Structure 1
Amino acid sequence: MDAGAGRIGRALGPGRRRRERPEVTLTNYEAVYDFYGPGRRRDGFTHPLLTFVGALYAPEVRIRPETVTELHRLHDAGVGIIVAANHPSHHDPFVLASAVYDRRVRFLASGTGLTKDPLFRGPLRPVFEYTGTVPVFRAKNYEGTERAVHDAAAARLIGLCVDRLTAGGVVLTFVEGTNSSADDLRTLRLDSVKKGVGQMVRGVRDTGGRVAVLPIGIVYRGRELAKLPPRRPVVSAGPLALWEDPGPAPSVDEVRHAVRAGIDDALTDAWG
């Protein structure tokens, strides 16, 4: 062992060696989620970045006072919260991050974000890694890979999210899994809401946990395809969907219906 390695070992403490960054590919999903599962967020990096991104995009964040009050009640009570948004533009991760950094609901910005895995193989990898984001392996990016591998990776990711939510944490996700079609900009079709959000809610309820979904509608008013950051997008919060009382777990489709209705309400407000 060289002197540098010895210093690292001492800094991390006995038995705590620095974990090597894994190659972020589907076939390596177990190592990827072992690495990102505990979270790689660095607040000293994240907070200045969110301040900069918020100034760059300057979204108009619309959220009712009663929703703010309820979100704080749920968070203080240890209820997991899923922030579930539509996905009209490649700017959305930055706009959503800016919105949850709003001083009224800033605790949401500590949540675990989910984004496509190619972003972890380019120069922006540190941006997503140090903000606590976790990669998602989309089947369309890995055509020809056995279905069992896709299913195993997806199950591992859902399990990671369920653990965060059961512990009273926050997960931020785009329910469509990819950019919106032109048919989903003003209202969201049920088929566009993928099953992941339903699996998270059901997973938490199966453990006896409590969970809420905050639907989010993002609107750019015709600037969603802009290459440069479009100023003043509108981010609107819909009514909360809450599973807090004892009872059977909802079906995945029941959750999808509730989330779709909430995002539709948010989009109606954002376009208004």
Structure 2
Amino acid sequence: MEAGAGRSGRTLGPGRGRRARPEVTLSNFEAVYDYYGPGRRRDGFTHPLLAFVGALYSPEVRIGAGTVDELHRLHDAGVGIVVAANHPSKHDPFVLASAVYDRRVRFLSSGTGLTKDPLFRGPLRPVFEYTGTVPVFRAKNYVGTDRAVHDAAAARLIGLCVDRLATGGVVLTFVEGTNSSADDLRTLRLDSVKKGVGQMTRGAREAGGPVAILPVGIVYRGREHSTLPPRRPVVSAGPLALWEGPGSAPSIDEVRRVVRDGIDDALTDAWR
């Protein structure tokens, strides 16, 4: 997962490492996104880590040859791609990272990952920072904070994602924003798909570029809450959705429905 600019997969450029690392809190969101916006990925750290995580979890990645070919075509054409996954377990960031490191679609692992901000205040901060992941400030972690602050931070994050997509980059996101409820393990309710994925997709389209969504379903077969890494989870890709050419940008709710339907298809396949 990478927050490098555009689709080039660049590592830190001259001067980027000299910026002071900010405290990752909502009240400091401007400095946080100033810091993480240019990208903090270190390939020398990321690639060995992804290889290790892949060996640890060994997910079964189900993705059709036609989807693989289309993903490569879109990426080569400079189309922004959103990898939109469900979120059944705390293991999901590592499982999704393993899946996109699959040799068939490895370019997706250069994408910008999004994860909750508390992970940037503990010992795992370098793991997420040096793989190019960007913190997300969730309202439930800041109860009592002025809503305008939440909205401003969310808008800044969406803007960062739109910039990635508009320049042909990849964004990796868990569309529920938190772990799945028991009602969403086999099929995803529309209400569970938050508006962020719709906002970034619509924003990229409004910026004038094409954008695609790859829905992804993750299944652990009853081992969602295992403390140890569950072996052989299934990661299934749903049908690609693509907005290109002339026409208006999709509505946020239209994107949410497309994502829900695509993840449902992926989950149906993954549970087989």
Q: Which TM-score applies when normalising by structure 1?
A: 0.94
Counterpart for residue 196 of structure 2:
196
2-structure distance, mates of 1:110, 1:34: 20
Aligned residue identity for 2:165: L
Q: Who is 1:6 aligned against?
A: none
Match of 2:92 in 1: 92
Counterparts of 1:221 and 1:15, CA distance in 2: 46
For 2:16 and 2:88, locate their aligned partners in 1 and report how far apart those are by CA, in whole Å.
Answer: 42
Paired residue for 2:237? 237
Show the counterpart of 2:142: 142
Question: Could you tell me how far 1:207 is from its partner in structure 2?
Answer: 1.0
Which ranges of structure 2 fall in alignment gaps of 5 or more residues? 1-11
Gap regions ≥5 residues in structure 1:
1-11
State how 1:180-219 maps to structure 2 within 5 Å: 180-219=180-219
Partner in structure 2 of residue 80 of structure 1? 80
Deviations 1:109-140 (A, max 9, x none): 00000000000000000000000000000000
CA RMSD of aligned residues (A): 1.4
User: Displacement, 1:15?
Assistant: 7.8
Superposition deviation, residue 244 in structure 1: 1.3
1:45-100 Cα distance to aligned partner (Å, 9 max, x none): 00000000000000000001000000000000000000000000000000000000
> 2:153 aligns to what?
153
Encode CA deviations 1:2-52: one digit per residue, 9 max, x unaligned. xxxxxxxxxx99987810000000000000000000010000000000000
| Secondary structure of the structure 2 residue equivalent to 1:127 | helix
The residue type paired with residue 68 of structure 2 is V
Amino acid at match of 2:47: H
- Provide, for residues 173-200 of structure 1, a one-character-per-residue CA deviation record: whole Å limited to 9, x for no partner: 0000000000000000000000000001
Instruction: Work out which of the two has the higher radius of gyration on C-alpha atoms and give 1 or 2.
Output: 1
Identity %: 87
| Partner SS, residue 235 of structure 1 | strand
Q: 1:221 & 1:25 partners in 2: Cα distance?
A: 35
Which residue in the other structure is 2:224 paired with?
224
The alignment covers a number of residue pairs equal to 261
Counterpart residue identity of residue 247, structure 1: G
Spell out structure 1 runs of 4+ moving beyond 2 A. 12-17
